[in-house]
Each structure stands twice: as C-alpha cells, then as structure tokens.
C-alpha cells in the first residue's frame, strides 16, 4: 500500500456528513487540522497514519488525536457563544 494520498477526484463516503468527500476536505476541516476520524475513514485507501505522522507537528497530532472529544451539545453551546460574541463586536 502507498503512503501518498489519492487525488482530489477520488472521494469516499463521510460518516459525519453523509456524502462523498475528497481527502483534502478531511485533511483541513478541523480549523485547518485533520478531522478526528480521518484515520478511521482513510486507512483502507492508503497509509494514512504514516502520512499524517510525517505531515503533522507533534502538538497538532496531539490536538487532533489525543484530546478527548467534547460532547456535541457542549460544542454547539461554544459555537453559539462565539457567534453571539462576534455579533456584538
């Protein structure tokens, strides 16, 4: 298996979004960092973990894959709060 990502015309089904997406989206959808599920979704298509370990700095790897996930409700509340603060400025 190769360690280079597929071209953008190659898409897979995203379990989070429910439709086809290219690797480039998965690679940057988390505020410029990869989606936390990127390894689960792409491991069958190429050597994703090897690729990401070479591409990501240690702190970025930890931020994406080592931090516990926030519950969806807490994340939604944070996003609403950010939007309100942004609207007030």
- Rounded mean pLDDT for each run of 10 residues along the chain, 89 residues in total: 88 94 94 93 95 92 82 84 85
Domain boundaries defined on the chain = 11-88
Q: Which of helix, strand or coil describes residue 81?
A: helix
**Which residue has 């360690």 as its token pair?**
3
CA 22 to chain CA centroid, Å, is 12
Burial track 21-60 (b if 16+ CB lie within 10 A, e otherwise): bbbebbbebeeebbbeebbebbeeebebeebbeeebeeee
DSSP code of 46? S
How many Cβ atoms are within 10 Å of 86's Cβ, its own excluded? 8
Place of tokens 């959808």: 29
pLDDT at 68: 67
| The model's pTM | 0.71
3-state secondary structure of 86: helix
Q: What is the pLDDT of residue 22?
A: 97
**Length of the chain in terms of residues written:** 89
What is the pLDDT at residue 71?
77
């Amino acid at each position: 298996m190769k360690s280079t990502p597929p071209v953008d015309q190659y898409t897979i089904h995203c379990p989070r979004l429910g439709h086809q997406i290219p690797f480039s989206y998965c690679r940057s959808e988390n505020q410029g960092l990869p989606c936390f599920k990127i390894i689960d979704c792409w491991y069958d298509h190429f050597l994703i973990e090897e690729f990401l370990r070479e591409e990501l700095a240690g702190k970025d790897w930890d931020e994406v894959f080592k931090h516990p996930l926030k519950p969806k409700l807490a994340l939604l509340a944070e996003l609403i709060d950010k939007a309100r603060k942004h609207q007030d400025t």
